[in-house]
Amino acid sequence: MSKETYRVCFCFRRRFRIAARQAPADIKEIFNAYSENGVMNVDHFRRFLINVQGQESATLEDAQAIMDSLKHLNIFHRRGFNLDDFFRYLFGDANPPIDTKRGVHHDMSAPLSHYFIYTGHNSYLTGNQLSSDCSDVPIINALHRGVRVIELDIWPNSTNEGVNVLHGRTLTTPVELIKCLKSIKEHAFVTSEYPVVITLEDHLTPELQAKVAEMITQTFGDILFSPGSECLKEFPSPESLKRRIIISTKPPKEYLQAKDVKEKDSDAKKGKDSTEEEAWGSEIKSFKDANKYDSFVGEDDEDDAEDSKAQQNEAPEYKRLIAIHAGKGKGGMQDWLRVDPDKVRRLSLSEQELETAIVNYGKDIIRFTQRNLLRVYPKGIRFDSSNYNPLIGWSHGAQMVAFNMQGYGRSLWVMHGMFRANGGCGYVKKPEFLLKADAYGEVFDPKLPLPVKTTLKVTVFMGDGWYYDFRRTHFDAYSPPDFYTRVGIAGVPADTIMKKTKTLEDNWIPTWDEVFEFPLTVPELALLRIEVHEYDMSEKDDFGGQMCLPVPELRKGIRAVPLHDRKGDKYNTVKLLMRFEFV
């Protein structure tokens, strides 16, 4: 080896060598304030828990229990923590930003309409909306993540004698309905005991509806919630429906009525439909050129699921299984949002329909969702399985903001964040201001300017773990990464903002030690967004992890925040050390 080659290799090795992790200056100051002669004993630690971590009811027994739980770290317990012990505790798995051991803690005895519900869209798709495989695997994955609403599009199979699940009039490969139903039964309550709703987008004849009724009855048996063919006067509570399966779709007798309304309005819709079809690009064009597909089926089970001839006769055994009736009925948006004091139902709107309706009917939407269920689904041109801003639906009371769980991106991260609340059970109690009018009879308006209720103060101390979870050359081929952190709020428009730290060059263990303040007008709907990126001068910045946390459940104090990948899966070791305060 030449001397020059040796120098290059030596330089390469030196540049990638990782320095030892050290406590930031602020952490050292806190340790000094709550220790004596370099030791934090159990009484010191208790005072730290109360004064810094906001655990006001912490006892000496609580402090000792935490210390005892860290024995596997070889921490010296007889006298207490030294600085290194304390730092390892703060940065460890035993100090998360939300209390995962708290479990379900919201009131679960209210009607279903009082909760945001973790909702999937086209839950059977493995990828894009046009050509991916249909399978029970994404359904299983969604249930294990805590999703409580599964959507199935049901169509006759090639012989018209059986039932498949697929995205109709596309190139998606089908999966048998019975396979999906059996997987739902097996995995429904692995993560959460609270009810699973199956929304059916039905494209079947009465004969096949009768077969579906038999499949559902035989598969779910006693765990199926079937109140009969009449609409419920009020929705039951999640607590009363534990470990139950609920079917929601449009009652068969209403399909033909909806078809008639659609045909009357078809001329008015032609311009919109042709515009959307152009947006699909060559994929849709190729479908039609091949004479294989009439048109792309819309996402709404209430608009595109009818066969005018077949539905003239209804299948009574199928209708009796429908616990949550769906339907828009005749008329326009004002009629769709009319509240019936004698019955409750589910209404589905596309993200575009919701945004249009908000302009003139925002308050009506909120009044509707106080008793009834509103499902919002992605617009049809999201053929890449992307998603939309869920806060638009949540801030107007929509319980079922339906997402492509196999998708990607920041909107999905926000969805994951919302349902980390309440023990990850898939049901999050809506704030009181979305459930009833105020003393003057007015309902919440997310667009109105409101006073600041609280200010969230966030300190980004440092990060660690990339050296172990990523290849040495993942971020830069010749030097350590240049990390920066983005931190901000997803919430009502007045609260939504993102800020960023400085970029630290050539450092696997960056210490930013920066403070950000976020005034919040509606903290009940706020989520803290955290992202780490690696600066790249010539290309797009590299992704280094993300996390989204419900602000109402943030634990005060210094916490170790685990980061997740783009899909929402947690990295093994990548974490940020942060502090959360409400001022």
- Residues identified as active-site: 121, 167
Length of the chain: 583
Rounded to whole angstroms, how far apart are CA atoms 551 and 130? 37
Which residues touch 197 (CB under 8 Å, ≥6 apart)?
117, 148, 149, 150, 246, 247, 248, 324
Structure tokens at 428: 């999050």
CA atoms within 13 A on the CB side of 521: 16
Give the separation between CA 75 and CA 66, rounded to whole angstroms. 12
Q: Burial of 282 by CB count in 10 Å (0-12 exposed, 13-18 middle, 19+ buried)?
A: exposed
224-225/196-202 β-pairing: unpaired
- Distance from C-alpha of 362 to C-alpha of 447, rounded to nearest angstrom: 10
CA distance 576 to 567: 19
- Name the helix (H) or strand (E) containing 282: helix 282-289
State the amino acid at position 458 in one-letter form: V
Q: Is the dihedral of CA 52, 494, 370, 386 positive or negative?
A: negative
Amino acid present at 511: T
For every residue of 137-174, DSSP letters joined together read HHHHHHHHHT--EEEEEEEE-TTSSSEEE--TTSSPBP
Whether 365 contacts 358, CB under 8 Å: yes
Q: How far is CA 243 from CA 110, 185, 413, 547, in A?
A: 17, 10, 27, 30
Q: Where are the beta strands (DSSP E) in 157-256?
A: 163-165, 175-176, 196-202, 224-225, 245-249
Q: Which among 297, 581, 328, 300 has a CA at the least distance from the CA of 457?
A: 581
Cβ atoms of 385 and 411 within 8 Å: the answer is no
264 burial type by CB count under 10 A (0-12 exposed, 13-18 middle, 19+ buried)? exposed
Q: What's the CA gap between 295 and 277, in Å, rounded?
A: 9
Residue in the structure block whose two tokens are 């685990």: 562
**Range list of β-strands (E), 288-354:** 322-325, 346-350
Helix and strand element counts for the chain (H, E): 17, 21
Cα-based distances in Å from 168 to 125, 263, 471: 12, 20, 42
- Strand-pair partners of 377: 350
